[in-house]
Copies of this chain bind each other. A is one copy, B any other.
């Protein structure tokens, strides 16, 4: 008689943290020791599409396993743009095709960040990378999310949102529809152009450079620090949007009834200290404990 015990049989776990810009995989043994890691491109189900996501997940899983010299017995996937039942089914099918037939946990990237960053297990993660989302859990086990609707419908306050808004402000200034800004020079440099009109080719010809636009966000911070009012306003607006997403989760979960964690995570937060500072200031009313996640969320 064969008795299956999941805990005994599972020796290696693959944790994958898939975001809009990059995907990180870590393969660990049952003691949590990391044996292999791999880095791949962005894999957001909503915006990259199923085929691209499968390609990226397959590549990072294979590389992490090759490095570790071991096959994963289970996989935990945290992925942007996938916290609805339909998406989970799609992702399970992808993981099955890759070779993970069972022992699969799929969740959104904010939840992975939360688990990685909160020992209290009560509170929320606020992710600001290429996209943005807030995801929280209270002591009663209820969960709530806010934002995370992707680059067309939401992602307010994200790196992409900041970069896009900054580009639009440069256009507005050039037309006389908006205030003057120092952002034009950084824009020219970032996109390697010499005249403003050339930005049209950079944006409309070929693939829309969404991640490159998200990376422009750190130049917006530089301009803000140099005293540019337009750049400062954009970062303030981003902080307001991110705070709003967090607040709506805090209210719905009634988190302020007791102590809770706020885990800040994502590439844009790591790239823009000003943004972290502003968001920390507006969210750090006791009983909240706000901290920037320094570890890779894949550790969660």
Residues of A within 8 A of B (CB): 46-47, 49, 84, 86, 145-147, 149-150, 152-154, 156, 164, 167-168, 171-172, 175-177, 197, 199-201, 203-205, 208, 241, 244-245, 248, 251-252
Contact = CB atoms under 8 A, between A and B. Distances in A.
A203 B86 contact: no
B167 A153 contact: yes
Contacts of A154: 168, 171-172
Contacts of A168: 149, 153-154
A68 to B, nearest CB: 34
A146 B175 contact: yes
Given A46-B200, A199-B153, A147 B175 contact: yes
A245 B152 contact: no
12 contacts: A47-B204, A145-B175, A147-B175, A149-B171, A150-B203, A152-B204, A153-B171, A154-B171, A154-B172, A156-B177, A175-B248, A176-B251
A146 B208 contact: no
Given A46-B200, A152-B204, A153-B203, A175 B245 contact: yes
A300 B55 CA distance: 52
Contacts of A203: 150, 152-153
Contacts of A248: 175-177
A245 B150 contact: no
Nearest to A203: B152
Contacts of A86: 197, 201
A46 B49 CA distance: 24
Nearest to A200: B46
A173 B149 CA distance: 12
Contacts of A145: 175
A200 B64 CA distance: 32
Of residues A47, A84, A154, A200, which shows the largest number of chain B Cβ atoms within 10 Å of its Cβ?
A200
Contacts of A197: 84, 86
